[in-house]
């Protein structure tokens, strides 16, 4: 048994190391597409089992051609972390230890480490000390958790216990959200019964920042409970809402302020970019991801709430724990929607330990510098336009001449060509009536040489398209 285990897990290590070592050299895209993968994998349910080692070998052999090198140095398609080796190692231990991390008394190590990671996160992000953190799968769920806490509180203040009595018959809650919010905010609103359409979309400026004057004009239109959803790090431009003004307006109207900072909140951990988040500490709940800028492996998102009691009230499984815990205990499941789950705090602890305050700051600053470098290099080429103010790690680029349709065609052709050439991976998006190439720098593996090589690849793709 011991030999078998060592052999099996040893093979997994060999495969993992070989894959990681190949990432820098490999092309920037999978060798085969989804449809080919589906065909290659198509098989009926096995009637009988197979030896674990054979299953592992087959898993690796079948999957490898369809792996996107997201953990590599030249993947700029989304804001995505590259899962730092230290986080991967910690995550392997989490899997091997098999702790059901929902409750604190049966899993002391997992619960205590998550509690320490909670304090460290609030510290490094410089949010109000004592805020609670729910360790969830990602920012989408974290948005749902933060907005649930908001829903609980604003309705309690209006004399309604939404956790017990639901939304039917509840006072109307006005939800105000910036017009350039991330899709996951609307998904979270949908999940918690607020609807993705039944919201007031507040006008934004050219970079996607919520306009305080527009918020002030809208928020006075209703008299009941209110939630304002702000954003730190717009998915295309990287822009930050003006928090000081927005929060002052919102709080003057008794609103709860929730901030989606899935990647952008990490600017707060840097000396050079912290000013972008000025005033954000005045909000009531915040969301960020571990699996983006912090380089924690998936799944790692954080729902951070100033009022721990409200956070727990919104998430605690009904009647399950209060009598049996001691004063001061932190029950991991009381801050998240799940009960059984992996020990998500452990890889977070490991990454904060690996990087430290200065390491996180250095990583984030380095990526912002790389984004500026991308923009500077690309802007020198005729026919290439940088479409945003490059303030953090996001660069959006438009190619070609003529009207928006002609430039869209050119931009799409450049993106397809870059993806096909495979030096790096970039995607596209619609922005203000244009189609743009999105470049997000967020992998801990990326070096200046990777940026230069990728900028060259983009320029030569454009030259080929231009003809």
Residues of the shown chain interacting with ligand PLP in the complex, contacts defined by CB under 6 A: 79, 138-140, 182, 184, 233, 235, 260, 262-263, 289, 301
If residue 352 lies in a helix (H) or strand (E), which one and from where to where? helix 345-379
Which residue, 237 or 454, has its beta carbon nearer to ligand PLP?
237
Q: Residue 272 CB, nearest distance to ligand PLP (Å)?
A: 21
Quickly count helices (H) and strands (E) in the chain: 14, 11
Between the CA of residue 312 and those of 132, 135, 145, 194, what are the distances in Å? 9, 13, 10, 20
Q: Residue 14 CB, nearest distance to ligand PLP (Å)?
A: 30
Which residue, 260 or 450, has its beta carbon nearer to ligand PLP?
260
Q: Residue 281 CB, nearest distance to ligand PLP (Å)?
A: 19
Q: Residue 231 CB, nearest distance to ligand PLP (Å)?
A: 6
Report which residue's Cβ sits closest to ligand PLP: 138
Which residue, 225 or 301, has its beta carbon nearer to ligand PLP?
301
List CB contacts of 237: < 8 A, sequence separation 6 or more: 207, 208, 388, 389, 391, 394, 396, 431
Residue 108: is it exposed, middle or buried by C-beta count within 10 angstroms (0-12/13-18/19+)?
exposed
Length of the chain: 467
Between the CA of residue 395 and those of 135, 275, 376, 431, 456, what are the distances in Å? 30, 20, 10, 12, 15
Rounded Cα gap, residues 167 and 192, in angstroms: 9
Which residue, 189 or 465, has its beta carbon nearer to ligand PLP?
189
Q: Residue 55 CB, nearest distance to ligand PLP (Å)?
A: 29
Q: Residue 139 CB, nearest distance to ligand PLP (Å)?
A: 3
Q: Residue 169 CB, nearest distance to ligand PLP (Å)?
A: 31
Q: Residue 289 CB, nearest distance to ligand PLP (Å)?
A: 5
Q: What Rg, from alpha-carbon coordinates, does the chain have?
A: 23
Rounded Cα gap, residues 236 and 230, in angstroms: 15
Q: Residue 114 CB, nearest distance to ligand PLP (Å)?
A: 18
Q: Residue 423 CB, nearest distance to ligand PLP (Å)?
A: 24
Which residue, 120 or 263, has its beta carbon nearer to ligand PLP?
263
Phi, psi (degrees; rounded to nearest 5) at 113: -70, -35
Q: Where are the extended beta strands (E) located within 236-368? A: 256-260, 285-289, 301-305
Three-state secondary structure along 65-121?
Answer: HHCCCCCCCCECCCCCCCCCHHHHHHHHHHHHHCCCCCCCCCCHHHHHHHHHHHHHH
Which residue, 120 or 293, has its beta carbon nearer to ligand PLP?
293
Which residue, 117 or 155, has its beta carbon nearer to ligand PLP?
117
Which residue, 87 or 225, has its beta carbon nearer to ligand PLP?
87
Closest CA to 394 of 324, 462, 293: 293
CB 278 within 8 A of CB 244: yes
Which residue, 313 or 341, has its beta carbon nearer to ligand PLP?
341
Which residue, 107 or 241, has its beta carbon nearer to ligand PLP?
241
CB 450 within 8 A of CB 74: yes
Residue 433: is it exposed, middle or buried by C-beta count within 10 angstroms (0-12/13-18/19+)?
exposed
């Amino acid at each position: 048994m011991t030999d078998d285990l060592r052999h099996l897990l040893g093979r997994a290590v060999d495969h993992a190391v070989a894959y990681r070592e190949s990432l820098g050299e490999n092309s920037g895209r999978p060798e085969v597409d989804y449809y080919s993968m589906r065909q290659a994998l198509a098989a009926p349910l096995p009637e009988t089992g197979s030896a674990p080692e054979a299953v592992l070998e087959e898993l690796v052999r079948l999957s490898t051609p369809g792996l996107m090198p997201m953990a590599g140095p030249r993947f700029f398609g989304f804001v995505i972390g590259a899962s730092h080796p230290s986080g991967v190692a910690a995550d392997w231990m989490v899997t091997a230890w098999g702790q059901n991390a929902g409750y604190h008394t049966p899993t002391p190590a997992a619960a205590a480490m998550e509690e320490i990671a909670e304090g460290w996160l609030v510290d490094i992000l410089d949010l109000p000390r004592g805020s609670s953190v729910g360790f969830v799968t990602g920012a989408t769920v974290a948005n749902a958790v933060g907005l649930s806490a908001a829903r609980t509180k604003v309705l309690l203040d209006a004399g309604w216990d939404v956790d017990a009595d639901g939304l039917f018959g509840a006072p109307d809650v006005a939800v105000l959200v910036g017009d350039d919010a991330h899709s996951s905010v609307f998904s979270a609103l949908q999940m918690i019964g607020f609807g993705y359409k039944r919201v007031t979309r507040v006008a934004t400026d050219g970079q996607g920042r919520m306009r305080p004057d527009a918020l002030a004009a809208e928020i006075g239109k209703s008299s009941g409970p209110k939630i304002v959803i702000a954003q730190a790090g717009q998915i295309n431009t990287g822009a930050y809402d003006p928090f000081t003004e927005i929060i002052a307006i919102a709080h003057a109207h008794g609103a709860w302020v929730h901030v989606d900072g899935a990647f952008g909140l990490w600017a707060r951990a840097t000396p050079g970019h912290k000013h972008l988040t000025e005033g954000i500490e005045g909000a009531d709940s915040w969301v960020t991801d571990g699996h983006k800028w912090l380089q924690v492996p998936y799944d790692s998102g954080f729902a951070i709430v100033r009022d721990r009691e409200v956070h727990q009230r919104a998430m605690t499984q009904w009647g399950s724990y209060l009598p049996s815990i001691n004063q001061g205990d932190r029950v991991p499941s009381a801050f998240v929607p799940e009960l059984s789950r992996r020990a998500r705090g452990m890889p977070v602890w490991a990454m904060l330990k690996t990087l430290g305050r200065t390491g996180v700051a250095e990583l984030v600053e380095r990526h912002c510098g790389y984004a500026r470098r991308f923009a500077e290099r690309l802007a020198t080429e005729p026919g290439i336009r940088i479409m945003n103010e490059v303030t953090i790690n996001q660069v959006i680029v438009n190619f070609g001449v003529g009207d928006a349709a002609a430039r869209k065609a050119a931009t799409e052709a450049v993106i397809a060509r870059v993806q096909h050439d495979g030096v790096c991976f970039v995607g596209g998006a619609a922005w203000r009536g244009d189609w743009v190439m999105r470049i997000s720098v967020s992998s801990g593996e990326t070096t200046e040489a990777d940026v230069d090589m990728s900028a060259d690849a983009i320029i030569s793709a454009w030259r080929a398209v231009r003809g």
